[in-house]
Amino acid sequence: MTFRDLLKDTLVTLWTHKLRTALTMFGIAWGIISIILMVAAGEGLRVGQQKEAENFGKDIMIVFSGRTSMQAGGMRAGRMIRWEDTDPKLVQEQAPACQWVLPEFNSGNLLVTGSWPPFADIRTLPVDEGRYYNWEDLAEGRRVAFVGSDAKKQLFGTRAVLGQTIRIGDFPYTIIGVMREKEQDSSYDGRDISKVFIPISAMLRDFPQKPPGTSRTIDRLLVTPKSVDVHESCKWQLRRALASIHHYDPEDKEACGIWDTVENAKAFRLMTDGMKYFLRAVGLATLFLGGIGVMNVMLVAVRERTREIGVRKAVGATSRSILWQFFVETLIVVFLSGGLGLGTGFGLCALVNQIPMPQYFAGLLFTWESGVLAFALLGTVAVLSALYPASRAAAVDPIEALRYEAGS
């Protein structure tokens, strides 16, 4: 029997038993759909949460000053520590694992925040109109302002704002940019869309802290590691550098409090990875249950066609040709149903992604890893569910088969 004849005979057999074939294919297709949807949902949750976290800041550590709780260098415990505008450069020199060490200073009822130009990137302040202030603005202490979307509405309503002047305290500031609306799931001093951002050089000059602070005192530092891999090194170098500058023990965490969003991101990533593996395991179990169903149906088919197998062998069919017939029949059932499952899974993901997604969920995101996993599992199930029924069919004794009566 040629492969063409074998394929034709297999398709005729499957068509003859349409209901049995359809039910068998449904089990495999449902397993593939389950893997695709569950993995896509896990990926959508992970990406959605990651985007929300990045709206607050990209792998940042917010460093707050406090009071010392340990004696160091002859100085008593309980001393108030205050960061100064010279600290970022000094820390940067002593903390090579840190990408940025930025100052941050806040003032006013409509919250005004001062820092350096990279603040817009690491705190994710997307530009809707105009621009964020640059290094020249910082160096010259220009009175320029970048306003949040809500702050713009409060100050100007729907009117154009670029080039307009606002008064911050007693000083006029020119608006050079407006921030795009964004979601923000956490904060330490208010929502960014309600703030006004100005160069810290202008802010320290125009709005210095009141005593016991000085004209150089800032509120906090924002620090980002060069990569997540060197995050712990960056944090330790940061603590050591600040302790050296302000003369306290680097182990004194009361003097230097750190809100570490990198640690939070790692913990969430660990949770979503665990959920992803769990969902894959559930889909895998579903797929293998479908494979067992295919195997059982094919074993029934072998039993029902025992007499047919005997006739084939009596007229010269070899055990190899019988094995190939049932093996190919099973492979066709599994891969056809798997293909339908993949197509349905992709279609459902695309359909769901057309509707607005809730916060923290980016939709059903199908990845190439999921596709490779689904195909690999499909192939494994196909081979395993085909081997045993095919070998049983090939091992049928033709004499016993010819005497076999269906239902006996």
Over the stretch 166-202, which tens digit does the pLDDT of each residue have?
999 889 999 999 999 888 767 788 889 999 999 999 9
Q: What pLDDT, on a 0 to 100 scale, did the predictor assign at position 108?
A: 66
d(CA 246, CA 218): 14
Residue ranges of the chain with per-residue pLDDT less than 50: 407-408
Residue pair 258/62 in contact (Cβ under 8 Å)? The answer is yes
75, amino acid identity: M
What global pTM score does this model have? 0.66
Q: What pLDDT, on a 0 to 100 scale, did the predictor assign at position 97?
A: 94
Select from 160, 52, 153, 57 the least CA-distant residue to 110. 153
Q: What pLDDT, on a 0 to 100 scale, did the predictor assign at position 401?
A: 61
| Residue 15 exposed, middle or buried by CB count within 10 Å (0-12, 13-18, 19+) | exposed
Q: What pLDDT, on a 0 to 100 scale, did the predictor assign at position 126?
A: 92
Q: What pLDDT, on a 0 to 100 scale, did the predictor assign at position 265?
A: 75
Q: DSSP assignment of 244-290, as one string?
A: HHHTS-TT-TTTEEEEEHHHHHHHHHHHHHHHHHHHHHHHHHHHHHH
Q: How far is residue 167 from each of residues 112, 171, 197, measured CA to CA in Å?
A: 12, 5, 13
Over the stretch 232-244, which tens digit does the pLDDT of each residue have?
999 999 999 999 9
d(CA 255, CA 276): 40
d(CA 32, CA 344): 9
Q: What pLDDT, on a 0 to 100 scale, did the predictor assign at position 1?
A: 57
Q: DSSP assignment of 30-94, as one string?
A: HHHHHHHHHHHHHHHHHHHHHHHHHHH-SS-EEEEE-B--S-BTTBPTT-B---BTTHHHHHHHH
